[in-house]
């Protein structure tokens, strides 16, 4: 898998990321298969947002990651802040919203850190 530098951060991640928006309704078997297939393909970059599936997408991801043999420190979590239904992201996203989003996201993913945060904009 080709690896890219995210921006000019020096943070290296797989060129392909797995979008986790729709995994809220995945069974344990489906979630495990998604993560294992990604890991086998060399994908270590996972895209989240605290609002995906009302937070359930991150819970499903965390449970699958807990069942996986892949170490948490080997994955890159990307999340977004500023996503609120019925609003344009740039109208409602304040710095404190991003801080809250990161806190929620880390808790939902049961991860000790998030490596990348970006503001969602239309």
Q: Are strands 12-14 and 17-19 parallel, antiparallel or unpaired?
A: unpaired
E strand or H helix at 31, and its extent? helix 28-40
Catalytic residue among 43, 52, 78, 80, which?
52
CA neighbor of 103 nearest in space, from 83, 81, 74, 72: 81
Query: Which residue's entry shows tokens 């609002």?
Result: 51
What is the Cα–Cα distance from 117 to 22, expressed in whole angstroms? Answer: 19
What would you measure as the largest C-alpha separation in the chain, in angstroms?
A: 41
116 belongs to the catalytic site:
no
**Which residues participate in catalysis according to the annotation?**
52
């Amino acid at each position: 898998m080709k690896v890219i530098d995210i921006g000019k951060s020096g943070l290296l991640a797989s060129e392909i990321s797995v979008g986790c928006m729709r995994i809220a309704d995945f069974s344990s078997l489906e979630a495990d298969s998604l993560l294992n297939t990604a890991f086998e393909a060399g994908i270590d970059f996972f895209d989240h947002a605290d609002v995906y599936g009302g937070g359930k997408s991150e819970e499903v991801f965390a449970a699958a990651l807990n069942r996986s043999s892949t170490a948490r420190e080997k994955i890159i979590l990307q999340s977004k802040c500023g996503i609120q239904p019925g609003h344009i992201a740039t109208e409602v996203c304040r710095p404190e919203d991003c801080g809250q989003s990161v806190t929620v996201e880390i808790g939902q993913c049961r991860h000790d850190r998030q490596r990348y945060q970006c503001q969602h904009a239309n």
